[in-house]
Structure 1
Amino acid sequence: MRETLRTRLGWLHGWLGYMAGLVLTCIFATGSVAAFNMEITRWMQPEVQLATLVPPSARALDAAARVVAAEQARGVSAFIALPSARSSTLDVLHYNGHEFIGARLDPATGAVIPARVTAGGGLFYNFHHTLFLGPQMGTVIVNIAGIALLVAIISGVVIHIHALLPDIILLRLTAARLRAWLDAHLLAGVLFLPFMAMMAYTGVLVKADMIVPAPPRPARSVLVPAPPPALMPDMTALPLASMLARARASLPGQEPGFILFAPQRVSIFAGDASSAFLTRGHADFSLPGGSPLPVDTTATPMARTMQFMHGVHYARFAPPSLRWLYFLSGLCGTAVMASGLVLFVMKRRRHAGHRGAHRLADGLNVAVIAGLPAAMLAFLEGNRLVPASLAGREDWESAIFFAAWGLCTLHALFQALRGQAQWAWRAQLGLVGLLGTGLPVLDLLCCPGALRAQPGLHMAVDGMGAGAAIVALYARHRLGQRGA
């Protein structure tokens, strides 16, 4: 009975793991990088060279309000993002359907910094949460993949529970290829099981309403016509500095993060980095006078639990050391998914030979495991190559990412369906190596001033590219040795 259960769970773990693993590998890879989404955006705007955090002055807030008024006049709903430890500028942002973009202001003087418009790290963040398919369909697909991951984790634990301790201490890289891949998959899976389970569970939970929506509210018995939309007051006359001071006093222990505008009020929200509980605490002020409005801050135990789940998953409260831990754990989770994809094809090809389905799976593996990192690096290099003054350049950057990934996918499928998957692996791993080693060189040639102004930031991002290149070139070397 036990063997029958393990056999059935093995089938479920393999097939469900592979089908969801193609998506999960992309989700974990981009999510790992998205742990530094704001830092990547700073890297992609080398014109911004403010290294120290300065509180926004009244003059700068007034200048930001004028920019908001200009955006409102164009029909764009904008808000003000206050300086923080991760972003030292005063920003006026709006959502373009995929990322938050807008003007960067000096928080001391209010002068607009002529920074290039960029998709920034928001592309990785958005891809992680929605696969760039929109907040509805994309989020549902990601949530279904998260549920599949939880099922794969449970089935994997049941299958290997009898040999859990040996799986932790054994890593036979010099053994047969199938045994070596299986050891790597089990070792990373066991060591990073808590992280993967936590991220899958919290990720599904915080967006559960997308899969299981709340029941509809009962219709009103009397239909009341909606009032006409109110006009925004004169933004240039708002006392934002005094509002900000009062908001800081009414949000003890929480630093204000952004300012939202409505026709009848201004809401100043606590920054997401204030605590592990993503509370969205805020202070409201009436317009146009700026008088404080009462705000109900009472939270039920269920609401506090959900706030903690949001905070743990998004990790916006995390200091740099914890953020690096999220990043490295996410990469190891990505390695678990990627090695599982390779194992799935190797096991079935050993018994059934090189069938067309196996060749297709080989091509998809190459496109996800090697093609996606190549596209991510091409996106970063595209930021340096696309002219800074080009209109709509954030869309050009996004197009570079998807075009590079699409070409890698076509190349991988073409080679794999011809029975030449090894050449696809070698070519695309070599491409990752070339792009990764070229990233620091391109950064140095294009932005030497920014590199001198913020060396730590540029060394970290360039180092990620170089690290990806080293791993890819090593894998390419081992692939050639083994003759796979």
Structure 2
Amino acid sequence: MTKPGIRETFRLHMGWLHSWVGFIAGLVLACIFLTGTLTVFDQEITQWMQPEVPLSPLHHITPEALQTAADTVLQNQKQGRAVFINLPSARDPVLRVLHYNGTAFTGPAYDPATGLLLKGRDTEGGQFFYNFHYTLHSGRIVGGILTGLAGLFLLVTLLSGLIIHLRSIWPDMVLFRPFGPRPRAWLDAHLLTGVLFLPFLLVITYTGTIIQPYSLFAQKPRPAAATPARHIETTALPPLFPLIEETKKRLNTQECGFILFTPEDIRISRSDYSSLFLTRDQAIFDRNDGHFLRIITHDSTADRPFQLARGLHHARFSISVLSWLYFLSGLSCTILIISGLVLFLIKRRRISGHMTVYKLAEGFCILTVAGLPISALAFLWANRLIPVSFPGRAEAEVSVFFATWTLSATQAICFSLARRPFAAWTMQLITLAALGVGLPIADALMVPHPTPRNIALSCTVDIWCLITATAAAVAAMRLIKKTS
């Protein structure tokens, strides 16, 4: 007779853990998952934010183009700037010479066939969303620890949620009532996305959690960790084209990813797109005459699980169809987290709605659920509105993002403390809808699209802006109807 009571008590404790840990961590996780979902197409976002760069089909890189890139490397090194060459790929068919500006990798792009400079506006592009997803824009150490802890909290939340709903998993998969009573509709959305995308959520959370401490402490060569350029000799570099061809043979790969430069050598890495295992294997050549020195491979038994985790999490190996599956799965997991946040507030509004801590919780929920998408769209708007020649325009775009989010936070918290949360929700949702509708118009009127691939990319971004605007408008209308 005592076993059912013990079981129910255990489920109640799991329910408390799921609710409170889920809400507190969910505010951070919603930001991580939304920006992580956008990061699936980070390179495409960068291309959209540099519409002047023509996206032609991938051409074989030529020695002339590599020589132009090498000259740019030397010019940057003379100015004391550490740079590396990012080689073209099917997703990003241009040659780039990049440097780390403190938050993102930026730099000029060149035609891989002719070596001509492709003049594009200065922007952090999709790198901004990648870094926000990875570090919450708080620095590699602090941000890495925060996102790692958020991942651990999510695993706890998932485990407790499974225990609570274990007996009703099948009904939750086939039952969804979007036009039912508000708590029921939100709960159905939460359970449906949680059940259908549970495997993806477990894999992406687990891999993201374990690679954070590994990337923080593992001593592996990374572009950002290159030796400062002021210690590098700025004498002429050997021809790079033969080194790339030899790297392909020695690493048994069809593509190379990037070229690093140290005082003593040149390091050419295997492309991240070449395998499910993200290895960063390298061939090393002498900087002076280009003769082969050695290869560095990471194929030990201890390295393979981390390489697999990194490969699964970053999904660089994926074809376009799988990338879209990653994107849609990430979007569904974002909806799972957002619906959980809203459910937490709905269940406690009647009893705790008058408490200051509840009002603050709702304010933070508004600035996360509505304010972050508004800020992301404002970031894209800034790319179209800030003049191309504006000095420091990449930093200005980021400033627009955080200024918008600050305004969103101020409005959300003030209205919530004034006991007008529905007005805050409505105003921000209407703003989100307006930005989503207006951006395709601004895109069509303000910038050129030199190639069919540029046009297709622009149309894809426009469609997703309109989908976002439609969802925000529907939610705003339902709120207006409820409060009128």
TM over 0.5: yes
Determine the structure 1 residue equivalent to 2:343.
343
1:45 to 46, 50, 55: 50
Q: Distance in 2 between matches of 1:279 and 1:258?
A: 13
3-state SS of the aligned residue for 2:324?
helix
Determine the structure 2 residue equivalent to 1:223.
none
Q: How does 1:10-409 map to 2 (within 5 A)?
A: 10-209=15-214, 231-235=232-236, 237-297=237-297, 299-409=299-409
3-state SS of the aligned residue for 1:45?
coil
Structure 1 runs not aligned, ≥5 long: 216-228
Alpha carbons 2:77, 2:232 under 8 Å: kept: no
Q: Distance in 1 between matches of 2:244 and 2:334?
A: 42
Q: Distance in 1 between matches of 2:469 and 2:167?
A: 37
Measured against aligned partners, the alpha-carbon deviations of 1:169-216 in whole angstroms (never above 9, x if no partner) come to 1112333222221111111111111111111100011112478x689x
Q: CA deviation at 1:454?
A: 2.0
Number of residue pairs the alignment of both structures matches: 469
Determine the structure 1 residue equivalent to 2:224.
none
Q: Distance in 1 between matches of 2:305 and 2:362?
A: 42
Q: CA deviation at 1:119?
A: 1.2
TM-score after normalising by structure 2: 0.94
Aligned CA-pair RMSD: 1.7
| Stretch deviating more after TM superposition (455-464 or 91-100) | 455-464
Q: Distance in 2 between matches of 1:477 and 1:51?
A: 43
Measured against aligned partners, the alpha-carbon deviations of 1:82-136 in whole angstroms (never above 9, x if no partner) come to 1111111111001111110011111122121221110100111000000000000
Q: CA deviation at 1:50?
A: 3.0
Residue identity in the other structure for 2:233? M
CA separation of 1:370/1:245 partners in 2, compared to 1, >3 Å: closer, same or farther? same
Alpha carbons 1:381, 1:439 under 8 Å: kept: yes
Residue identity in the other structure for 1:65? A
| Stretch deviating more after TM superposition (293-302 or 242-251) | 293-302
Q: Distance in 1 between matches of 2:250 and 2:215?
A: 33
Alpha carbons 1:136, 1:210 under 8 Å: kept: no
Q: Distance in 1 between matches of 2:467 and 2:434?
A: 12
3-state SS of the aligned residue for 2:98?
strand
Residue identity in the other structure for 1:115? G
Measured against aligned partners, the alpha-carbon deviations of 1:286-319 in whole angstroms (never above 9, x if no partner) come to 1211111122436122211211110000111111
Q: Distance in 2 between matches of 1:323 and 1:29?
A: 15
Q: Distance in 1 between matches of 2:180 and 2:34?
A: 28
Q: CA deviation at 1:260?
A: 0.6
Q: Distance in 1 between matches of 2:71 and 2:77?
A: 10
Q: CA deviation at 1:452?
A: 5.3
Q: Distance in 2 between matches of 1:301 and 1:449?
A: 48
Q: CA deviation at 1:478?
A: 1.9
Q: Distance in 2 between matches of 1:473 and 1:439?
A: 15
Q: CA deviation at 1:377?
A: 0.5
Determine the structure 1 residue equivalent to 2:440.
440
Determine the structure 2 residue equivalent to 1:427.
427
CA separation of 1:415/1:473 partners in 2, compared to 1, >3 Å: closer, same or farther? same
| Stretch deviating more after TM superposition (172-181 or 303-312) | 172-181
Alpha carbons 2:269, 2:281 under 8 Å: kept: yes
Alpha carbons 2:78, 2:234 under 8 Å: kept: no
Q: CA deviation at 1:283?
A: 1.1
Q: CA deviation at 1:363?
A: 1.2
Residue identity in the other structure for 1:88? P
Q: CA deviation at 1:6?
A: 0.6
Q: CA deviation at 1:453?
A: 5.8
Determine the structure 2 residue equivalent to 1:220.
none
3-state SS of the aligned residue for 1:80?
strand
Q: CA deviation at 1:448?
A: 3.5
CA separation of 1:369/1:231 partners in 2, compared to 1, >3 Å: closer, same or farther? closer
3-state SS of the aligned residue for 2:374?
helix
Q: How does 1:2-13 map to 2 (within 5 A)?
A: 2-13=7-18
Alpha carbons 2:108, 2:117 under 8 Å: kept: yes
Structure 2 runs not aligned, ≥5 long: 1-5, 220-229
Q: CA deviation at 1:430?
A: 0.6
Alpha carbons 2:40, 2:327 under 8 Å: kept: yes
Q: Distance in 1 between matches of 2:159 and 2:392?
A: 45
3-state SS of the aligned residue for 1:267?
strand
3-state SS of the aligned residue for 1:118?
coil
3-state SS of the aligned residue for 2:267?
strand
CA separation of 1:449/1:203 partners in 2, compared to 1, >3 Å: closer, same or farther? closer
Residue identity in the other structure for 1:179? R
- Runs of 4 or more, structure 1, over 4 Å off, are none
Q: CA deviation at 1:323?
A: 0.7
Alpha carbons 1:140, 1:210 under 8 Å: kept: no
